[in-house]
A and B are shown apart, each in its own frame.
Chain A
Amino acid sequence: MPRQIPWWIGGIALSLLFYFSFSSFGANRPIGVSTGMAYLSTILFGLDAEHYIYTAEIEKSGAWEGVMLFGAFFGGLFVSLFITKSFRISYIPTLWKIRKNSSIKSRMTWSFIAGFLLVFGARLAGGCNAGHILSGGSQLAISGIIFAFVALGTGVVTGRFFYKKKGASCDR
């Protein structure tokens, strides 16, 4: 069995899943993720809906996405164990070693900061890649198009300054 599907099969498969979720045959709502992340954080830190207005506001959508994320974890685990066979404990991505450094401490510190920025930024914006770009873009939502241009543009500019240039010497 191939260890990876090509981009066009991935795109077709994801759109079929989107049809199912979006239609009344499935969940009658588009797929989103970052509200679920925020909702899970309210569970982790005990920020309940009775005392925190944001928890109350996102409770329905956040719970749906939180449960979906449980499923996503097991979907990823199944594929990495039995199909791609890529499950292994790893600390630093290969490309990070090439374009940044080989320090576990550096990667972990930046991962924590970046994870914070991702969820905090997504909540400020009201969505992430899934909710704004994929589900929003599929509905030709202006909010999704604005988000895509700003987020991806910022990512490209940040990447230009944050990482070493392609082909530059590295400290491996």
Chain B
Amino acid sequence: MIDRIVNMFDIVAKQGHGSVATVLLIGFFFGAIIAYSRLDKFEKMAGFMIFEDTLVPRMAMTTVALSSVGFYFLVQTGYASFAVKPIMLTGLIVGAFIFGIGLVILGKCPSAFFVSVSEGRVDTFVGVLGGMVGGGVFTLLYPNLKDWMGSSRGSPQVFDFFVDYNLAVVLIFATILLVTAYFLPSLEFRDEADFKEK
């Protein structure tokens, strides 16, 4: 196992997507922002889907709105290129369905797994163990699942349907998300356990 972990860092060092230090730094800030916004809490993620808290949709819409405009200009100016996931329709829909069930029960997305564990949440650690088994089982079953998941239908973007109006599309998309985020009701489940003085 130690060999594989060392190899993981080695692969990152050689693949040209930032140095190991850069990737660790991206992860550090990713975890820090999730923790500081409290996005890692059950009350926020599950709470959003059972109408107790609106932090997750508001923050996610703001992130996607601002990132969509930024990504568009980064690509236009040659500082980035789109990396869009392909559509394998059966896998995408069935997988999203299964994911949604897990999401509302665990109340953490995979992004928040390790952040929540780092906060001392034993239930999330058990969720991570379940996730490890899920990943292992998927790896074992993949040769049988691959064809069933469907062939790739390409990686379409909304831009592809409005070829001459890409800037307008991204600005309208971002505006709709920002306005929706702003006008969503401010529901907040205040977990008193987090605000006790030590």
What's the Cα separation between A124 and B88 when bound, in Å?
Answer: 9
How far does the Cβ of B149 sit from chain A's closest Cβ, in whole Å? 6
Q: Which of A23, A79, A156 contacts B80 (CB 8 A)?
A: A23
Whether B63 is near chain A, meaning CB under 8 Å from some CB there, is: yes
How far does the Cβ of B55 sit from chain A's closest Cβ, in whole Å? 5
Q: Tell me whether B63 and A120 are in contact (CB under 8 A).
A: no
How far does the Cβ of B102 sit from chain A's closest Cβ, in whole Å? 3
With contacts A117-B134, A142-B156 taken as known, whether A147 is within 8 angstroms of B8 at the C-beta atoms is no
Contact residues in B for A66 (Cβ distance below 8 Å):
8
What's the Cα separation between A145 and B49 when bound, in Å?
Answer: 17
What's the Cα separation between A4 and B116 when bound, in Å?
Answer: 15
With contacts A19-B70, A154-B100, A155-B101 taken as known, whether A27 is within 8 angstroms of B18 at the C-beta atoms is yes
Contact residues in A for B59 (Cβ distance below 8 Å):
7-8, 10-11, 14
Convert B101-129 into 0s and 1s, putting 1 for each residue whose CB lies closer than 8 angstroms to a CB of A.
11111111111011111111111101111
Q: Tell me whether B101 and A117 are in contact (CB under 8 A).
A: yes
Q: Tell me whether A108 and B123 are in contact (CB under 8 A).
A: yes
Closest residue of chain A to B124, judged by CB?
A: A111
Convert B1-35 into 0s and 1s, putting 1 for each residue whose CB lies closer than 8 angstroms to a CB of A.
10011011101100111101011111111111111
Q: Tell me whether A76 and B115 are in contact (CB under 8 A).
A: yes
Q: Tell me whether B123 and A125 are in contact (CB under 8 A).
A: no
Q: Tell me whether A158 and B136 are in contact (CB under 8 A).
A: no
With contacts A12-B62, A15-B70 taken as known, whether A5 is within 8 angstroms of B37 at the C-beta atoms is yes
Q: Tell me whether A44 and B1 are in contact (CB under 8 A).
A: yes
Convert A20-34 into 0s and 1s, putting 1 for each residue whose CB lies closer than 8 angstroms to a CB of B.
111111111111011
What's the Cα separation between A144 and B67 when bound, in Å?
Answer: 14
Q: Tell me whether A71 and B26 are in contact (CB under 8 A).
A: yes
Residues of A120-169 at the interface with B, using a CB-CB cut-off of 8 Å, are: 120-147, 150-156, 158-160, 162-163, 166
Contact residues in B for A34 (Cβ distance below 8 Å):
110
Whether A43 is near chain B, meaning CB under 8 Å from some CB there, is: yes
Closest residue of chain B to A89, judged by CB?
A: B120
What's the Cα separation between A132 and B109 when bound, in Å?
Answer: 12
Q: Tell me whether B35 and A76 are in contact (CB under 8 A).
A: yes
What's the Cα separation between A28 and B26 when bound, in Å?
Answer: 12
8 contacts between A and B (CB under 8 A): A8-B59, A22-B70, A42-B139, A69-B114, A116-B131, A119-B130, A151-B100, A158-B49
> Given known contacts A118-B103, A126-B88, A139-B82, what 7 new A-B pairs fall within 8 Å (CB)?
A18-B63, A67-B27, A72-B28, A111-B124, A117-B130, A154-B100, A154-B101
Interface residues, chain B, with chain A CB atoms under 8 Å away: 1, 4-5, 7-9, 11-12, 15-18, 20, 22-43, 46-47, 49-52, 54-55, 58-68, 70-71, 74, 79-88, 91-111, 113-124, 126-140, 142-143, 145, 149, 155-159, 169-170, 173, 181, 189, 191-195, 198
Interface residues, chain A, with chain B CB atoms under 8 Å away: 3-5, 7-15, 17-31, 33-34, 37-48, 52-55, 59-60, 63-64, 66-80, 83-96, 99, 107-108, 110-147, 150-156, 158-160, 162-163, 166
